């Protein structure tokens, strides 16, 4: 699909850069400061923590989100959509679940393509039409197809290792050159913050890529755009107390639920006929227009797991 090669290139460059950072830091700690192989322990520890997260992550998600697995008898339409999309994606059919929260959204989780789960929230039921819901499920199916759960786990190891290195080097003595430890510790701390920004960048790239994946699976760009618009509007209406209850898991969601009110104000300008949806014609108008994102929104995007919604729907317009 047009433009996806750029997403892939950015993703791989970001990952190479991240692992280059941690490799250089560990080599400096071991060779330049004379600590031998000791600081390799922090790489092992970081990878160990992420391995445990990888193994137990699905159960943690289910527990924190109150997920109930749905049988085909309970949700035949959902199961049919998921089965069709899984066949189109050439992956095993994921399990289907529902989360108790009334914040309208959907998410995917699992350790691999063979153990994938697709989950909708109670709040999304009745909000979207059939094609919009299928486009949302197509987005989540693409996360599973692209092994995004594993990729996120792997890249999250880098800032974690940098944090362990920074803490140890700044506050522990040892080695032949104690004066160099705190300096390298500060560098490791800086690398930790840079690593976190790169993890967020990769997360945003994965969202763009999953949007494109939904279209590749046969879903209409305008239906996904309209679904995103409705999800933002729905989340903006939910009491902030309910948003805060699940804010810690927002990275899993299709949209950034914490920024819903601001995003709705930005997206309302796309709904030219004010009917609460984004049609193919409205998406075509956006395709031929230039999107201007304010400075404050650009800064917020750098610190977000999700792309700026205007830019995201603009990219969907390019697929139409």
**Cβ atoms within 10 Å of 13's Cβ, excluding its own:** 10
Q: How far is CA 121 from the centre of its chain?
A: 17
> How many angstroms separate the CA atoms of 258 and 306, rounded?
11
Which among 62, 74, 140, 222 is annotated as catalytic? 140
Q: Which of 18, 98, 38 is nearest to 66 (CA)?
A: 98
- Annotated active-site residue 140? The verdict is yes
Name the pairing type of β-strands 117-121 and 106-109.
antiparallel
Cα–Cα distance for residue pair 317/320, rounded to 1 Å = 5
Give the contacts of 239 (CB within 8 A, at least 6 positions apart): none
> Tokens 């400061």 label which residue?
33
Number of CB atoms found within 10 A of residue 129's CB: 14
CA separation for the pair 85, 91 (Å, rounded): 9
Active site residue ranges: 140
């Amino acid at each position: 699909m047009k433009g996806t090669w750029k997403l892939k290139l950015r993703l791989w460059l970001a990952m190479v850069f991240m692992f280059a950072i941690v490799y250089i830091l560990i080599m400096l700690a071991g060779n330049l400061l004379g600590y031998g192989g000791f600081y390799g322990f922090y790489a092992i520890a970081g990878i160990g923590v992420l391995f445990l997260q990888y193994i137990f992550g699905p159960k943690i998600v289910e527990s924190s989100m109150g997920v109930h697995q749905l049988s085909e008898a309970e949700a035949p339409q959902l199961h049919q959509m998921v089965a069709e999309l899984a066949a189109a994606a050439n992956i095993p059919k994921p399990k289907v679940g529902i989360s108790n929260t009334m914040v309208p959204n959907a998410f995917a989780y699992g350790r691999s393509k063979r153990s994938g789960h697709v989950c909708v929230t109670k709040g999304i039921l009745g909000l979207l039409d059939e094609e919009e819901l299928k486009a949302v499920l197509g987005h989540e199916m693409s996360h599973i197809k692209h092994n995004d759960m594993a990729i996120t786990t792997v890249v999250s190891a880098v800032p974690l290792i940098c944090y362990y290195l920074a803490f140890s080097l700044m506050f522990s003595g040892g080695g032949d050159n104690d004066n160099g430890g705190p300096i390298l510790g500060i560098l490791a701390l800086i690398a930790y913050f840079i690593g976190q920004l790169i993890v967020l960048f990769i997360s945003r790239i994965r969202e763009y890529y999953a949007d494109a994946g939904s279209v590749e699976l046969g879903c209409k760009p305008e239906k996904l755009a309209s679904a995103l618009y409705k999800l933002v509007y729905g989340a903006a209406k939910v009491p902030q107390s309910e948003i805060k209850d699940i804010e810690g898991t927002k990275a899993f969601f299709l949209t950034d639920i914490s920024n819903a009110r601001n995003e709705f104000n930005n997206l309302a300008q796309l709904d030219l006929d004010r009917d609460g949806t984004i049609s193919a014609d409205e998406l075509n108008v956006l395709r031929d227009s230039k999107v201007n994102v304010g400075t404050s929104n650009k800064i917020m995007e750098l610190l977000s797991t999700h792309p700026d919604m205007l830019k995201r729907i603009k990219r969907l317009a390019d697929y139409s």
